[in-house]
Structure 1
Amino acid sequence: MFRLRRYRYYVFFAAIVVFLLYRVARNSEQWETVSASFPHTVPPFTPKPPPARDSGGNTQAHAEVKGGTAEDRGLPQQVPDKSDKANSPNKVPDLKGQHRVASDHGRDEFELPPKSDPAVKDPAVKEAGVVAYDHNEATKVTTAPIINVPDKSNGQGAKDADNNPIKIPTNTETHWTKVPEHFPVPASELIPLPTDKPRKIPTIQYAFEKESATTRETREARQQQVKAEMERSWAGYWKYARGHDELSPVTKKFRDPFCGWAATLVDSLDTLWIMGMEDEFEEALLEVEKIDFTVSKRAEIPVFETTIRYLGGLIAAYDVSSGDNGGYDILLEKAVELAEILMGVFDTPNRMPVLYYNWKPKYASKPKRAGTSVSVAELGSLAMEFTRLAQLTKKNKYYDAVARITDAFYEWQEQGTSIPGIFPEHIDASGCNITAQNELEAAKKVPDIDINDNFNRDRAQRTGATVNEHDELDFGPEVDPGAHPGNPSMAKPHIMKRSQKSTAQMMNSGKQRNSETSKAELIAGENTLPECVSQGLTPGRGMQQYSMGGSQDSTYEYFPKQWLLLGGLEPKYKELHLKATEAVKKWLLYRPMVPDERDILFSSKVVTRGEPETDANTQYEVTHLTCFIGGMFGMGGKIFEVPADVEIGAKLTEGCVWAYESTATGIMPEGGHLLPCSDLKNCHWNQTLYEKELDPLFESREEQVQEYYDRKAKAKAAMEKKKKDEEFARHHAQIKSETGQPRKPALDDKLSRGSHSDHENAGIQKRAAIPDMGEREDDLAESSYATGSKSAKFIGTQDLEDSDPAPGFERSTAGQVPLQTNEDEDEDPSRPLTHAEYVAQKIENEKLPKGFVDVTSRNYILRPEAIESVWYMYRITGDKKWQEKGWKMFESIVKYTATDVGNSAIHSVLDTHTTKLNEMESFWTAETLKYFYMLYSEPNLISLDNYVLNTEAHPFKRPKTSFGV
C-alpha cells in the first residue's frame, strides 16, 4: 500500500501521456508534412528552345535559364533531385492554353485564358503543385500539400459545410479585378488596324561601306566598354534591388517610385538581349513571371510611365528575341496581362484615358472622365505600345483605344490651335464644354429628357445655340472655349453630333434629375456622371505654353514613328508630323550666340494667352529633354523626303553636343537659357551684348555706383568735421580746468563748433542713407567765402591741438572730399557692383559656361535624349564624327556618375566636385547605355529600316506583311 501511494503520481502522469499520444495519432495526417517546402504558386516551365538570332549581331540564346538559388530568392531550400536533373532544363513557359479564335476581320486572334493551377495539369501534383528552385537553379516539381494549421478554438481546425478544413488566407492585399465598362465600344464600331500590305517607305539608314580593321578594332573596343558599364549597373541592380523599381547606387539599396513591378528589370530586358547578355536575360525572365500586375504599392498607376517602360519593355523584348519563334512567350503573356488592366483607363464617355488610374476595384468600378489639365505627352504617347500589341495579338480593341486619341489630335489640329500645328502643354481632355455647361447650370429648370430626335433642339432652346439641317447642335464661338476673340481663325463654331458613336457621352442610357443638387445627370447603369456638353480637346485653363520639351515631347516623336509602325497606311500621322514641324520651324527654332560661332540650333518655348501674334513671350531655353528633336527631324526628313529637315536635325543635335562640351564636367545640364541671334545666317559672338544679357540692370548700374561714392564722400567729410569739433571741445575744457576761467571763444572757434546735425551723424551706419548736412553747413561755407580768407575756408580742419594756428595751415587739404576709395571699401557689402564686377561675380558664383545666360537646373539624371539624337544622325548620315562626339559624352558621363555598383544622378554638371544623388533611373540601362552601345555596333543591329523605337528606346518590329506582323 505504501508503494502504491508512492507511485500514484507517476501512474497519473503516465495516463495523461497516453491520452495525448492518442490525440496526436488522431491528427497525424494534418502534421505529417510539416517539414515540406512552403508552396509557391509559380507554374512549371514548358521547355521550348529558342532559335538562333538574326544577322543583327545577335548570337544563339542559351537553352537553359540561369536562375538564382532558393536561398537567394527567399524560397525554402530544396534537396535537389539528382536523378532527373539532366532532364529538367529550366525554360520559360509558352502562353498557356493559347488557342486561336476568329477575329472581327475574319483572321485568327490570340485568346489568353486566365492562369490555372498547375496542379490540375500534372497528376503528380494534383493535390498541390510547388515550383521550387534547387541550388543548381533548375526547376523542380514537388508534392507538398498546403498546410492547414489547426485553430485552437475549434479543436482539429475550422470546417466548412462539407466538413472540409477551411484554408486560412495568407494574402489580404487588394487586387485589381476586371469590372464591367460603363462606356463600352460596340464591336462593330471598333477602329480596325490597317489591313493592306505596308507601303514602300524610303530607307532611313545610310548605306554603310565595309570598315577597315583599325576602325573595327576601335569601334568594338568602345562597344565593350559600354557593355562593361551595363554589366556593372545590372549586377548592382540584381544584387541590391532585384524585384524593385530602381537601384539606389550610393547606399546600395532600392526604391519603388513607380508601381513596384521591377521597372529597371522590365525596362532593360531588350538591352540585355541586344548586348548579348543571354544568361542575365533568361534569369530576368524568372523574375518577370513573378510580377503581379494586379496589385501595387501605389494607389494610382501612372499610365504614361507604365506604358512606355513596362508594356513597351515587354513587347520589345518579345520582338528582339524573335517573337513567336523565340520561345519566350511569357513576355507577350505578361504584356497582355498588363494591357488588360490599362484598358480600364479608356472607359470614359469620350474614350480619352484617365492618366493616373486608381486601379482598386472600389474606385475602378465607378464611371470617370479624363482630366481637365493633362500633359500632351502623357495623352499622346500611348499609341505605339498599344498598336504593336494589337498587331501581335490581332485584337483591334488595343488599336481602337489609341486611334481615338490620334483622331482627337488630328481634328484639333485641323480646327486650329493658337499656334497652328502644335498643341499647348496642358489640355482639357474631359470632353466637357465648360462654357456651355455653365449655361445649362444657370437655367432654373432642367426638364427630364431622353436622348431622342428632340434632344438637340431642346438643348438649343436652353443654351441659345442653333440646330443645322443635319440635326447637329452648333454652339457657335461665343460658347466655344477654343474660340479666341480677335483671332478669326480660332472663332470656329463647335459642332456636336447627336450621335457621337462610341466617343461621346451619348453612350449613357439616359438622363435624370439629381434630387439633391437639382442638376441633370447622365445615367451609367446604377452610377451617374454630371451632365456634359460634348467637345473635343481644348487648351487647359491659364496661359498656353508651346515647346518640344517636357510634358510635350514624345507626342510629336510618335507621329512619324507611328506612321512607320503602321506601314505608312494611316496618312493622319504624316499630316500631324509635317504640320507640327512647320510650326516648330516658324515659332520655336532659334540659333544661339555662342563663343565659337558654331552653326547650331535649339528649340524655344512660347507662352501666350491665345494670341501669339501679339502677346507671345519667347523663352530661349535649352533643355536636355528637348534633345530628342534632332533625331525626330532627321528621321522624319528621310521617310517623308524633306532633305532640309535632315539638315535641321543635324544642327539641333550639334546644339546638344555643344551644350555637353561647354560645361566643366562635359555633361549637359537639365535646363538653362541662351542668347538668340537676330540673324540665323549671320551670328557673331558679341561679348558686350552677352555681358549686358547677364546683367539686367547694366543701364543703371554705373549711376548707382556713382551715387554710392557721393554718399560715401559726404559721410566721411561729416565724420571728420565732427571729430575735430569734439577735439576742440576737449581742448577748451582742459584750458578752463587749468585757469579756472572759461576762455572767451574766438571767431574761428565759433565757426568750427559742431552742430546738432553733426552730433546725429556721429553714429552713421554703412547701410543707412546719409542725411543732408542742412543749412548750418551751407551758412558756414558762405561765411568762409565771404571773408575772402583761405584760413577761414579751411578753419574747420586745422590742427586743433595747437592753441594758435601754425603758419601755413591754409595749405592743408584735410577737409576736401576724397576722390579715391579706402582699401576696405571693396569689402563694404553696401557698395553696389560695377557692371563688369557684377558679370564677373555672376559667372564665378554660378559657374556659368560661356554662352549660357543662366542654368535653371544644373543636375544630370542619366538622361538619354542627347545621345539618342547622336545615334540617329550617325545611322542616317553615316558620318563617323558622331561616333567621336558620342565617345566624349560617354567618357564624361561615366567619369562623374560611376559608383561601385552602378551609376548615379549628380547634383551639378558645372562643378567637377559634384555630389551624387543616389538615384539610377531605369532609363539608364533601358535607353542611355543602349544608345551608346548601338552607336558602336554593326549598323544592322536594330536597323532603323527594320525596327522603330518608342520613346523609351524599346525597338518594335516594323511590319512586313498585312496586319502588321
Structure 2
Amino acid sequence: MRFQKALLPAILAGGFAAEAAALNIPLHKKQSDVNRADAIKEAFTHSWEGYVKYAYGKDELRPVSNTGSNSRNGWGASVVDALTTAIMMGMDDVVLQQLEFIAVIDFTTTSSTVSLFETTIRYLGGLISGYDLLTGPYAGLLATNLYNAALVENLLTQAVTLADRMSFAFNTASGVPANNINFSTNSSTDTTNGIATIGTLVLEWTRLSDLTGDPKYAALAQKGESYLLNPKPASSEPFPGLIGSNVNITNGQFLDASGGWSGGTDSFYEYLIKMYVYDPTRFSTYKDRWILAAKSTMTYLQSHPTTRPDITFVAEYNGQSLSLNEGHLTCFIGGNFILGGQTLGVEDFTQFGLNLTSGCHDTYNATVTKIGPERFSWNPNNVPATQLLFFQQNGFYVTGSDYILRPEVIESYYHAYVNTKDEKYREWAWAAFQGINKYCRTDTGYSSITNVNAVGGGSKSDVQESFWFAEVLKYLYLIFDDSKEGGFVQGTQEWVFNTEAHPFKVAAK
C-alpha cells in the first residue's frame, strides 16, 4: 500500500482503532507497521524538503526561523548525514540529489575549526556507508549508467580526500590524535583529548583502509586506540575495564579516573564490541575489553532509585565514588548491551540491556510530552522541592529539560525489538515518534525543544541537527520496516552501525 499523506493526522493522533479506521484495516488484524514506516518516511520527506528550501548546502536547518546554519564546517552535514537513510528508504530521487551535491564538496578547506570526531562519524562515516550500501544491497536503487556509477564511486574518493586532509591530527608525540584541528595551519592547540573523541574513529578509519587497500588509515586510528585499551597509570581504571575520560596527547597518559557511559566517554565503549562485530579475528582484544567494562558496569554502576527499585539506571563515577546521574546520551547503552549479548551469546548481557532500555523508556513515559529529558538524576539527597512528587512517582527528576532530537532511546528500542521481536518495543517507538511529531514538528521540519516536562514542550529552540536524519529517522524506520533489506539485523553480523547510525558492511562479508 502506498503511503497516503492525507491519513497522517489520523495515524499520528490515534491508537490502534483510529489508525485501523483511517487505513480501513479490520480491527481483528494486526495494525500495519508498513504504514507506520511510511509515516516515518513522510517525516523524513517533510524535514528534507524544508532543508532544501531554506538551508540547502548549509549544515542544518533552523526550522522555526527558516534559515540555515553551519556548525559542521559548512560542508552540508545534513546532506551527507541524510544520505544513508534516504538510500534505505528507497528515495532514489533524493539520493541522486545528495550524490550530486557531495560530488562538489571541497573537503580540503574550511574557515572554522574541524572536530576530528564529529567529522569522522558524520561525514566520513556517511560517505563510507553510502558507498557500502550503493555497491551492496542497494546497488539497483539508481538507474544503471556511467554518470550514476561515477557518483557512487566518488563517495569513496571523497572519503579518501577527507581522511587524507585530517590525517595531520595524528601527528603527535604519542599518536593520540588532537580533536580540534585547524586546516589553515595544519595544527592544533589541543594538549588533551577525551576517550570518546579518540575511541570513536577506529571503525570508520579501519573500514576506509579495508575498502581502499591502504593500511595507513587503520594504523592511525588504532594507534590512538591502543592507549585506551592499555590505560596508564593503573589508577585511571577504577573498575576493571572502566577508565578515565581525558588523555594527555603528548604521552598517552590518563589525567583522571572519572567517567561512565555518558557524553565524552560513551562511544568508546560502544565501539569496543562493534569492532568485534566488524571483524572478530582482528579485534578480539576489543571484545575482551568490552566484556570487562560490561561486567563492571553491571557490578558497580548498576543503580535502582529509592522510590522505584524496579527501574535500572547506570551511575557515573569519579574514582570509585558514584554519581547518581544519567543523560539521554547514555541511553544507547541498552542497545549496546543487547548487541553484545546477542553477538557473544551471553544472556546476562542481553537481559541487562533490556532492563536499561526499559529504564530509559520510563524517562520518556513520565513526562508531559512523552519525550525523555537531556539529563536526569535519582539522587534522593538533591531532589528539588518542585519535583519531589514527580521523583516519588517516577524514580528520577529532571536536571536538563531540553530535547535536541537525540536518537539514543529509540536506538535501544531498535536493538530490543531486533533481539526479542516483542511488539512492545514497536509501541514504545511509535509513542516516542508521536511525542516528537506533536511537540517538535514545524511547518518546515523538526525543532529541538526547551522543556520536555512542560505543557507544549516549553518553546522551540530552532535547531534541526543532522543526526535527526541519520539516526532518529533511520532507527524508527527500521523498527517498522520488516523487509530488512541488506541484513540490517545486526545479530547476523552482516552490518554494523557506526555511532551516527551509518551501517558498514562487516569485514568478513
Q: What is the TM-score when the length of structure 1 is the normalising length?
A: 0.47
Amino acid in structure 2 at the alignment position of 1:424: G
Residue of structure 1 in register with 2:17 after alignment: none
CA displacement 1:219-256 (0-9 Å, x = unmatched): 11111111100000000011111111000000110000
Asked if structure 1 preserves the Cα contact closer than 8 Å seen for 2:278 and 2:508, the reply is no
CA distance in 1, matches of 2:316, 2:293: 14
Tell me which residue corresponds to 1:539. 255
What is the CA-CA distance between 1:600 and the residue it aligns to? 2.8
Corresponding residue for residue 876 of structure 1: 419
1:378 pairs with 2:192: no
The counterpart of 1:261, out of the listed 75, 78, 83, is 75
- After TM superposition, the structure 1 = structure 2 runs for residues 129-208 of structure 1, keeping only pairs within 5 Å, are none
What percent identity do the matched residue pairs reach? 34
**Match of residue 701 from structure 1:** none
Deviation at 1:872, TM superposition (A): 0.4
1:927 counterpart letter in structure 2: E
Structure 1 residue 642 corresponds to structure 2 residue 331: no
Secondary structure of 2:290's match?
helix
- For residues 427 and 566 of structure 1, the distance between their equivalents in structure 2, rounded to whole angstroms, comes to 27
Could you say which residue in structure 1 is the equivalent of 2:505? Answer: 957
In structure 2, the residue matched to 1:409 is 228
Q: Is the 8 A contact 1:409 1:537 kept in 2?
A: no
**414 and 870 in structure 1: CA distance in 2 versus 1, 3 angstrom threshold:** farther
Q: Deviations over 1:508-555 (max 9, x none)?
A: xxxxxxxxxxxxxxxxxxxxxxxxxxxx43225xxx422100000000
How many Å apart are 1:843 and its aligned residue? Answer: 5.0
Distance 1:644 1:899 in 2: 42
Partner residue, 1:443 = none
Q: 1:867 aligns with which of 410, 430, 434?
A: 410
- 8 Å contact kept, 1:315–1:389: yes
Q: Which residue of 1 aligns with 2:445?
A: 902
Measure the CA separation in 2 of the matches of 1:862 and 1:214.
35
Structure 1 residue aligned with 2:126:
313
- Per-residue CA distance 1:837-865 (angstroms, 9 max, x = gap): xx4x5559xx8783355422100000000
Instruction: Find the aligned partners of 1:415 and 1:912 in 2 and give their Cα distance.
Output: 49
* Cα distance, 1:693 vs structure 2: 6.1
Highest CA radius of gyration, 1 or 2?
1
Instruction: Determine whether 1:943 maps to 2:489.
Output: yes
- Cα gap change, 1:568 to 1:246, in 2 (>3 Å): same
Inter-partner Cα distance in structure 2 for 1:384 and 1:297:
27
Could you say which residue in structure 2 is the equivalent of 1:63? none
State yes or no: 1:885 paired with 2:422.
Answer: no
Q: Where does the alignment leave 5 or more consecutive residues of structure 2 unmatched?
A: 1-25, 141-148
- Check conservation: 2:383, 2:391, Cα contact below 8 A: no
The one-letter amino acid of 2:41's match is K
* 2:161 match: 337
Q: Distance in 1 between matches of 2:45 and 2:28?
A: 26
Aligned-partner SS, 2:167: helix
Contact 2:402-2:448 within 8 A present in 1 as well: yes
Is this contact kept in 2: 1:629–1:869, CA < 8 A? Answer: yes
Cα distance in 1 for partners of 2:93, 2:311 equals 43
Letter of the 1:607 partner, please give it: N
Per the alignment, residue 214 of structure 2 pairs with 395
**Whose helix fraction is larger, Structure 1's or Structure 2's?**
2
- Determine if the alignment matches structure 1 residue 579 to structure 2 residue 292: yes
8 Å contact kept, 1:413–1:576? no
Change (3 A) 1:418 1:278: same
| 3-state SS of 1:270 partner | helix
User: What's the CA shift string for 1:442-462, capped at 9, x where partnerless?
Assistant: xxxxxxxxxxxxxxxxxxxxx
Q: CA offsets per residue over residues 352-384 of structure 1, 9 Å max, x none?
A: 111111111xx22x6x78x44322100110011
Instruction: Tell me how far 1:216 sits from its aligned partner.
Output: 6.8
Residues 661-713 of structure 1, C-alpha deviations (whole Å, 9 max, x = no match): 000110100001115xxxxxxxxxxxxxx6x7637xxxxxxxxxxxxxxxxxx
Contact 2:192–2:246, Cα closer than 8 Å, also in 1: yes
2:353 is the counterpart of 1:353:
no
Q: Which amino acid aligns with 2:406?
A: R
Q: Please name the residue that 1:605 is paired with.
A: 316
What letter matches 1:538 in structure 2? F
Equivalent position amino acid for 2:129 in 1: A
Q: Cα distance, 1:866 vs. partner? A: 0.2
For structure 1, list consecutive stretches of 5 or more residues without a partner in the other structure.
1-211, 432-535, 676-689, 696-838
Q: Identify which of 556, 559, 562 aligns with 2:275.
A: 562
Match in the other structure for 2:461 = 917
Write the deviation string for residues 266-324 of structure 1: whole angstroms up to 9, x where unpaired: 011000010111101101111111211112130x2111000000000011111111259
Aligned residue for 1:175?
Answer: none
Q: In the aligned structure 1, how far is the partner of 2:484 from the partner of 2:28?
A: 20
d(CA) in 1 for partners of 2:358 and 2:347?
17
Q: What's the CA shift for 1:568?
A: 3.5
Letter in 2 for 1:224: D
Q: Tell me which residue corresponds to 2:20.
A: none
Conservation of the 8 A alpha-carbon contact between 1:377 and 1:551: yes
TM-score, normalising length from structure 2? 0.87
Q: Which residue of 2 aligns with 1:803?
A: none
- AA aligned to 1:920 is Q
Q: In structure 1, how many angstroms separate the alpha carbons of the residues matched to 2:103 and 2:468?
A: 23
1:667 to 371, 383, 401: 371
| Contact 1:593–1:851 (8 Å) recurs in 2 | no
Q: 1:749-788 to 2 correspondence within 5 Å?
A: none
Task: Measure the CA separation in 1 of the matches of 2:276 and 2:405.
Answer: 29
1:928 and 2:472 aligned: yes
Code of the residue aligned with 2:471 in structure 1: it is E
> For residue 249 of structure 2, what is the aligned residue in structure 1?
429
Using the TM superposition, give the Cα deviation of residue 574 of structure 1 relative to its aligned residue in structure 2, in angstroms: 1.1
SS at match of 2:230: helix
What SS class does the counterpart of residue 539 from structure 1 fall into?
coil
The 5-angstrom pairing of residues 440-839 of structure 1 reads: 536-540=252-256, 544-594=257-307, 599-608=310-319, 612=320, 616=321, 618-675=322-379, 694=383, 839=385
Alpha-carbon distance in structure 2 between the residues aligned to 1:570 and 1:294: 32
Q: Is the 8 A contact 1:244 1:260 kept in 2?
A: yes
**How far apart in 1 are the matches of 2:73 and 2:156?**
20
Structure 1 CA distance, aligned partners of 2:473 and 2:28? 24
Structure 1 contact 311–338 (Cα < 8 Å) conserved: yes
Mapped to 1, the partners of 2:450 and 2:287 lie a distance apart of 40
Does the CA contact (< 8 Å) of 1:693 and 1:853 recur in 2? no
CA distance in 2 between counterparts of 1:317 and 1:893 reads 27
Deviations 1:782-826 (A, max 9, x none): xxxxxxxxxxxxxxxxxxxxxxxxxxxxxxxxxxxxxxxxxxxxx
Alpha-carbon distance in structure 2 between the residues aligned to 1:355 and 1:280: 32
The equivalent of 1:149 in structure 2 is: none
In structure 1, which of residues 412, 420, 431 is the aligned counterpart of residue 240 of structure 2? 420
Note the alpha carbon deviations across 1:32-82, whole angstroms, 9 max, x for none.
xxxxxxxxxxxxxxxxxxxxxxxxxxxxxxxxxxxxxxxxxxxxxxxxxxx
